[in-house]
């Protein structure tokens, strides 16, 4: 009797467990049962890439929390252009896409109201290749400044722009590479007014890039520095100008009196600053 009751309880437990499993799978299989369909990237993609069905895949995402701006149909992303890098398995969001109708390439990455300008650099100006796409730099110019007072030219270095985004180096716009790359040109994202400043700066002097922290957005205004300020205000190695000394008039000395040559003997006597001849 006891064995029969134990077997019965065991059978009932197994049946209840199987029922719970079937109910769970059945609910999960129903559409909208706690899951959402989202489109994710099937491969790593760079900014400016145009999306195609082969680069996308469908995935299930829990109902809460669901990121804002997701897509449920691959057709909604056909020929859309990325303006931010996307990793494999990452959900495609509207915030990472350029406006509808944008063409692929670097133009899709440029923010609204901004312009892209390319400047020539070398291994020193380009911060030894560490100015990569996605980094921010400050721009310095070294030029000759006219002195309106004396008409003399002086060398001046000054920061003309701060917190400028690097869009591309050479012909590469990928932002995932962290290795330095020595290139001969960088493309910067600038406002129209800043583009005018850079165009003038590179024609009147030489440009230098200064790499800055990604999260540091503070602006520091400087007056620039001149060669005289760098080396000191005094001019070294020049003798002071000669001082003009006023001549002091001297008392002219009395010329000796002429001595007549006669047939007599004369003796000159000096007494009280006066000269007298005594002849005999």
Tokens of 156: 């001046």
Contact 171, 194 (CB under 8 A): no
Q: Domain for residue 246, yes or no?
A: no
Per-residue confidence band for 218, with pLDDT thresholds at 50, 70 and 90: confident
Q: What is the pLDDT of residue 196?
A: 94
Domain boundary among 56, 79, 105: 105
Contact 67, 93 (CB under 8 A): yes
- Between 5 and 198, name the one with better pLDDT: 198
Q: What is the pLDDT of residue 36?
A: 82
Q: Domain for residue 18, yes or no?
A: no
Q: Domain for residue 129, yes or no?
A: yes
Instruction: Confirm whether pTM is higher than 0.85.
Output: no
Range with the largest mean pLDDT of 107-121, 142-156, 242-256: 107-121
> Mean pLDDT over residues 98-121, rounded?
82
Tally of domains within the chain: 2
**Looking at residue 90, which CATH number applies to its domain?**
3.90.1210.10
Residues 39 and 95 in one domain: yes
Q: Domain for residue 217, yes or no?
A: yes
Residues 99 and 159 in one domain: no
Residues 219 and 136 in one domain: yes
Domain boundary among 54, 73, 105: 105
Q: Domain for residue 248, yes or no?
A: no
Residues 155 and 76 in one domain: no
Averaged confidence pLDDT in the chain: 76
- How many angstroms separate the Cα of 184 from the Cα of each of 68, 150, 187? 40, 39, 11
Q: Domain for residue 209, yes or no?
A: yes
Residues 59 and 81 in one domain: yes
pLDDT digits (tens, 9 = 90+) for 173-215: 666 566 666 778 889 999 999 999 999 998 888 888 888 887 8
Rounded-to-10 torsion of CA 78, 84, 88, 92: -50
> Mean pLDDT over residues 257-280, rounded?
63
Q: What does the chain look like in DSSP terms, one character per residue?
A: -HHHHHHHHHHHHHHHHHHHHHHHHHHHHSTTSSEEEEEEESS-B-TTPBP-GGGEEEEEEESSS--TT--S-GGGGTT-BBSS-B-TTPBP-GGGBPPTTPPSSGGGTSPTT-EEEEEE--TTTTGGGT--TT-EEEEEEEEEEE-TTT--EEEEEEEEEEEEEEEEETTB--S---S----SEEEEEE-HHHHHHHHHHHHHEEEEEEEE-TT---------EEHHHHH-SSPTT-PPPPPPPPPPP-PPPPPPPP----SS-EEEEEETTEEEEEE-
> Mean pLDDT over residues 82-86, rounded?
83
Q: What is the pLDDT of residue 179?
A: 67
Residues 60 and 122 in one domain: no
Range of the domain at 73: 32-105
The residue to which tokens 């369909």 are assigned: 37
Q: Domain for residue 202, yes or no?
A: yes
pLDDT digits (tens, 9 = 90+) for 9-67: 777 787 787 777 776 665 555 554 567 888 899 888 888 888 888 888 888 887 677 78
Domain boundary among 216, 231, 246: 231
Residues 187 and 216 in one domain: yes
Q: Domain for residue 73, yes or no?
A: yes
Residues 150 and 98 in one domain: no
Separation between Cα atoms, residue 37 and residue 66, nearest integer Å: 10
């Amino acid at each position: 009797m006891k064995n029969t009751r134990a077997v019965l309880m065991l059978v009932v437990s197994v049946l209840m467990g199987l029922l719970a499993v079937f109910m769970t799978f059945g609910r999960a299989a129903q559409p909208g049962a706690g899951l959402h369909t989202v489109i994710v990237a099937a491969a790593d993609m760079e900014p400016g890439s145009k999306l195609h069905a082969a680069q996308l895949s469908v995935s299930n995402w829990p109902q809460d929390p669901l990121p804002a701006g997701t897509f449920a149909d691959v057709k909604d992303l056909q020929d859309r252009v990325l303006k931010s890098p996307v990793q494999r398995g990452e959900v495609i969001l509207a915030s990472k896409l350029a406006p509808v109708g944008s063409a692929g390439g670097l133009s899709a990455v440029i923010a609204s109201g901004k312009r892209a300008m390319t400047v020539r650099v070398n291994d020193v100006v380009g911060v030894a290749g560490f100015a990569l796409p996605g980094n921010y730099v400050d721009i310095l110019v070294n030029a000759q400044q006219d002195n309106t007072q004396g008409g003399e030219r002086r060398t001046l270095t000054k920061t003309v722009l701060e917190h400028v985004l690097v869009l591309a180096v050479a012909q590469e716009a990928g932002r995932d590479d962290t290795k330095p790359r020595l290139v001969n040109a960088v493309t910067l994202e600038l406002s129209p007014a800043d583009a005018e400043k850079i165009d003038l700066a590179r024609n009147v002097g030489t440009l230098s890039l200064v790499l800055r922290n990604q999260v540091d957005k503070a602006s520091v205004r400087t007056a620039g520095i001149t060669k005289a300020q760098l080396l000191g205000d005094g001019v070294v190695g020049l003798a002071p100008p000669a001082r003009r000394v006023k001549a002091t008039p001297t008392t002219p000395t009395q010329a000796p009196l002429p001595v007549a040559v006669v047939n007599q003997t004369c003796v000159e006597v000096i007494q009280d600053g006066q000269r007298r001849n005594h002849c005999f």
